[in-house]
Structure 1
Amino acid sequence: MYRPLKYRKDDEEFILQFIDQNPFASFITRGDRLLATHIPVLREGEKEEWRLYSHIANHNEQLAFLKDGAEALLIFHGPHAYISSSWYQEKDISTWDYSAVHVNARIRLQSKEELEESLEKLVYKFEKQQEDPLYYRDIPKQMLLDHLHLITGFWLEPFKVEGIAKLHQNYSKADVSSVISHLENSGDSTKKQLSEDIKNTNL
C-alpha cells in the first residue's frame, strides 16, 4: 500500500479498533488470477495474539484456492470522500480523504466445530444491536444443518499489517474547518463520519 509517512497509522490501538469498526472487508487471494470476495471478517484476541476469521460459500470460485498456508490480503475500508479544492481559501489541487487497513495473512481452514463457533460469534456481534435479536442458537437446527455444509470457514493469521489515515494533515486550520463543514452539511452519512475522523485528527 502506498503510504506517505505523514499518513501512516501503524499503532496497534488504531489497527485493532479500525478492524472492529469496519468489519466488512475485501478478501483477496491468488488463483488462476487475483480473486476477491466482500465478506464480514471478525477479529479475536488482543495485541500481538490476535487473528481474524470468516467464511465463504462453497460455490465461490475462491474456495478452490483456499489451502492451509496460502496467503490472503484483507482490505478494511473506512469512510472516504472527494475533497474539492474549491473549499480552500486559495487555489489548490482537489484530493480524496480516506482511511484503510491492509492485513496480509496465512489461511488455515476451520473444522466444522470451529466454523460453528465462528458463526455463533458473528451472528451475536451484529444481532445484539437489533431490537428483537435472533441469535445463532435460535435458528432451527435443521435449517443450520441444511446450510452448514454449503460454506467453509477459515482463520487468517496476520504476518503484515499496514494502516493509513489520509485526513488533511498539515493543511491550514481554516482549510480543515472548511472541509469539515462541507462534509458535515452534505447530507451523506459516510461523509459526516469522515468529517468526524478529520476533526479528531486535526482539531
Structure 2
Amino acid sequence: MYIHPLNRWKDDAELGAFIQKNAFATLVTQIDNRPWATHLPFVLDENKDGNTVLSGHIAKANPQWRNLSENMEVLVIFQGPHAYISSSWYNHENVPTWNYMAVHVYGKIRFIEGEELLDHLKKLVNSYEDGRPNRISVETMSENYVAKQLKALVGFEIVITEVHGSKKLSQNRDDVNHQNIVKNLQESNFHQDRELAEEMRKERSYSSKT
C-alpha cells in the first residue's frame, strides 16, 4: 500500500499490539488470476523455529485454500479505527480527508494439521473467551466433536516476511487544528470516531481535556 512518509509506522511493539487488537483480518490471494479475499481471525505467535507467524484456518468449502501452496506469498490486511475528517474542523480552507490505521503483512504459507491445528484453535478460542462469562474452551468439548470439526478446516501458518504500517492521524497539522479534530471526533456519536480521537491524542501526547 502507499504510505506517506509522515504516516509510516515502524514501531514493532506497537504494530504487534495493533495486530493482536484487530486480529479479525483479510487474507488476500489469487484464484484464476483474480484477487480473492477471505475475512478470518488470526493469532500472532512465534513458531518452534523462533519466527514470528500468523496462524489461521479456512473452511474446506472455501475454494481459496485449493489455490494455496507451501511457501506461497500471501497478504493479510489488518484495519483499525478510521474516521472522516471534515474540512469544517480547520481554521483555514482545506479539503476533507480520512484518518485511519492499517497494517499489511506479507508472508509465506505453511499448512498445519493434527496437533498443530488443534493448538491453533485452542489459542484462538482462549484469546477471544478471555474475560467472558461462562467461558468455554476447546479442551472442554468432546473429542469426537472436535475431531469432526477439524475435518472441515484447513489450517495454515504464515511466516511473516514484511510488515507495512500506516498510521494517518493528522500528523501534518499544527496543535490548534489537531486538537480541534480530536475534539470533534470525541463528540461524535460513532464509536470508531471516538476511538480514533484517542489514538490521535496519544500520538500527539496532550491531555484529552485540552
State the TM-score, normalizing by the size of structure 2: 0.92
* Deviations, residues 168-200 of structure 1 (Å, cap 9, x unaligned): 002021211111111111122111110011111
* Deviations, residues 128-161 of structure 1 (Å, cap 9, x unaligned): 1211201111123222122110011000011111
SS at match of 1:54: strand
Alignment-mate amino acid for residue 160 of structure 1: E
Partner of 1:66: 68
Give every structure 1 segment of 4 or more consecutive aligned residues whose post-TM-superposition deviation is greater than 6 Å. none
- Per-residue deviation, 1:201: 1.0
SS at match of 1:80: strand
Partner of 1:110: 112
> Which structure 1 residue ranges, 5 or more long, are not aligned?
none
Partner of 2:91: 89
* Deviations, residues 64-123 of structure 1 (Å, cap 9, x unaligned): 112111111001101001100111111111100001111111000002211000000000
Partner of 1:129: 131
**Inter-partner Cα distance in structure 2 for 1:34 and 1:129:** 37
Total equivalences in the alignment: 202
State the TM-score, normalizing by the size of structure 1: 0.95
**Inter-partner Cα distance in structure 2 for 1:168 and 1:129:** 34
Alignment-mate amino acid for residue 108 of structure 1: R
* Deviations, residues 50-69 of structure 1 (Å, cap 9, x unaligned): 11100000000101112111
> Which structure 2 residue ranges, 5 or more long, are not aligned?
none
RMSD: 1.4
